[in-house]
Structure 1
Amino acid sequence: MSDVSAEHLADLNAGRAQAKTLTEALVIDHCVLLAAACPGASAELIAEVGAAQELGILKRMAAIGSALQQHLAPTELALLAEHPSDTVRGWWCFATAANEALDPAALLAECRPRADDEHFTVREWVWMALRPRLVQDLAGSVALLEPWTQDSSPSVRRFASESLRPRGVWASHIKALKEQPSLGEPLLEPLRADPERYVQDSVANWINDASKTAPDWARELCARWLTESPAAATERIVARALRSLR
């Protein structure tokens, strides 16, 4: 964190710059950033963001998103979706996920632009934000995400895989997918020869997650893929997917 220059940190906190690395995202002072992004924030909102800053990074983002959803008017919240700061756009993702009035279909439609965001941190925040809501109706969410596997954007295709990884990154495990990973096959099958490494890595990580509790399923799926789709992309996915079983 000491490698982040004072000038760049000031720009991050003022919402003028985006984080270049995860370290830069972690060093941001969310209270200072709130003052820049929402200069009319209420005392209650400021206090809740201050308290959230003491939490781990994922719980912090979720708590800030919940606070924004509670204290900002919809018109004020909407402005954050396109804010220059990737962290603020991340806040918006969690705030939108905290809106219980939106069902999974509406949530996905609302958050699709952030799944295709230009910045890597926002693309991570959005799947982490929506994941708890999507898990509530796993079969329904898989069905909603199937069309995303055919999207022209590799970032959107990756979201379809990444959002419901059995173990995920910084996220709670999905017990049903650890025990019965075949439930996720409708999202994996269309991506088994995806040309983009960004997507390939997500698919491989999904299967690697599942291989830790369902090794036979992972081996059988990958063996079938190599027979049915003998492409370089599939071979790369399989090699990475089975890395924990060697």
Structure 2
Amino acid sequence: MVVREDILNRKGARKVSEIPKEVFTLLNQGKIESANLTEWLAINHICLLENVLPSIGLEHKLEFIIAELRKNEVETGMKAIRMTGALLDIAIIEESNSTREDVTAKCSNHVSDSVRCWAAFMNKNPNDSLTNKLQYILPFAADHHFGVREIAWMSIREDLSQDIDKSVGLLVDWAKSEDENIRRFSVESIRPRGVWTKHIDILKQEPQKVLPILSLLKSDSSKYVQDSVGNWLNDASKTQSEWVIDLCKQWEKQSDTKATAKIIKKAKRTIMKTC
């Protein structure tokens, strides 16, 4: 099917009620990507499952997955993505290795960003090492779509929080990547407070544990990374304000760049409000 250029290049509706019927249908059929957060949150994942699973050879699992979603009254949004991915992971356990690999690959490379989001939650083998889990999530962290990138860090954040020292050691290499999306992931995935996620208490008390990553990115050229580093430090400032103030003073001396100045401004925004 060839999708019209005007649909592919749309900016996206500001309200769910403003999403054109044709666009909404294509989104729920898994034939186009969402253009913004409004569309991303509006997608009905039960409709999407009904359209996608037969095309990847999992129509025999459709009833089980949809029943679970309806039982939990989940059809849209982040909870639907998380649950669908987890249910798909369960659904393919009994399949052959080749079938599991084929299904995972089809979801990971699907045209629909929502299906790729499901795939980010389809690697929950408790026996996998953190290194292997990060390797699996790498292409999602580098995805061109904002939604997939957000789900990427959310899907592995709990694993990363279990051993912060080890996680930081592994993510240092990500902070050195040429890809700004990967560099951003190295910080965003372990924010002390984060967005829509549980806090990482040890980092609220000991933010210095992440200095090996933060220091590498203190003058990053990417605004995407700058915002993430600034937000990370702003999180930390809510419990360790003096530490953040001292670090910002050090960075001002070490790096007289516009990038560092922008990071520091964002890092100190909560501190400035309380002065």
TM-score, normalization: structure 1?
0.95
Q: Give distance in 2, aligned partners of 1:127 and 1:175.
A: 17
Aligned-partner SS, 2:122 = helix
Q: Give distance in 2, aligned partners of 1:229 and 1:244.
A: 22
- TM superposition outliers: structure 1 runs of 4+ over 4 Å: none
Displacement, 1:6?
0.8
Q: Which residue of 2 aligns with 1:32?
A: 47
The residue identity in structure 2 corresponding to 1:225 is: W
Cα distance change, pair 236–3 in 1 and its aligned pair in 2 (3 A): same
- Structure 2, unaligned runs of 5 or more: 1-15
Q: Which residue of 2 aligns with 1:235?
A: 261
Displacement, 1:56?
7.8
The residue identity in structure 2 corresponding to 1:49 is: L
**Comparing 40-49 with 161-170, which one deviates more in the overlay?**
40-49
Cα distance change, pair 54–192 in 1 and its aligned pair in 2 (3 A): same
The residue identity in structure 1 corresponding to 2:49 is: L
Matched, 1:83 2:103: no
Q: Give distance in 1, aligned partners of 2:154 and 2:71.
A: 21
Q: Which residue of 2 aligns with 1:121?
A: 147
Displacement, 1:126?
0.4
Cα distance change, pair 95–76 in 1 and its aligned pair in 2 (3 A): same
Q: Which residue of 1 aligns with 2:233?
A: 207
Q: Which residue of 2 aligns with 1:68?
A: 88
Whether the aligned pair in 1 keeps the contact of 2:187 and 2:213 (CA below 8 Å) is yes
Whether the aligned pair in 2 keeps the contact of 1:212 and 1:244 (CA below 8 Å) is yes
Q: Which residue of 2 aligns with 1:92?
A: 119
Partner deviation per Cα, 1:190-219 (whole Å, 9 max, x = no partner)? 000000000000000000001011100110
Aligned-partner SS, 1:91 = helix
Q: Give distance in 2, aligned partners of 1:181 and 1:77.
A: 36
Displacement, 1:185?
1.1
Aligned-partner SS, 1:38 = helix
Q: Give distance in 2, aligned partners of 1:26 and 1:52.
A: 17
The residue identity in structure 2 corresponding to 1:50 is: R
Displacement, 1:52?
4.8
Q: Which residue of 1 aligns with 2:7?
A: none
Q: Give distance in 1, aligned partners of 2:234 and 2:193.
A: 9
Partner deviation per Cα, 1:68-119 (whole Å, 9 max, x = no partner)? 10002423222100000001100100122x2323221001111111111011
Q: Give distance in 2, aligned partners of 1:31 and 1:111.
A: 24
Note the aligned Cα RMSD (angstroms). Answer: 1.4
Q: Give distance in 2, aligned partners of 1:17 and 1:232.
A: 38
Aligned-partner SS, 2:17 = coil
Cα distance change, pair 55–244 in 1 and its aligned pair in 2 (3 A): farther
The residue identity in structure 2 corresponding to 1:140 is: K
Whether the aligned pair in 2 keeps the contact of 1:18 and 1:85 (CA below 8 Å) is yes
Whether the aligned pair in 1 keeps the contact of 2:43 and 2:76 (CA below 8 Å) is no
The residue identity in structure 1 corresponding to 2:39 is: E
Displacement, 1:167?
0.6
**Comparing 58-67 with 195-204, which one deviates more in the overlay?**
58-67
The residue identity in structure 1 corresponding to 2:248 is: C
Cα distance change, pair 110–9 in 1 and its aligned pair in 2 (3 A): same
**Comparing 164-173 with 51-60, which one deviates more in the overlay?**
51-60
Whether the aligned pair in 2 keeps the contact of 1:128 and 1:171 (CA below 8 Å) is yes
Q: Which residue of 1 aligns with 2:183?
A: 157
Q: Give distance in 2, aligned partners of 1:142 and 1:199.
A: 17
Q: Which residue of 2 aligns with 1:185?
A: 211
Displacement, 1:63?
1.5
TM-score, normalization: structure 2?
0.86
Structure showing greater Rg: 2
Q: Which residue of 1 aligns with 2:11?
A: none
Q: Give distance in 1, aligned partners of 2:65 and 2:244.
A: 46
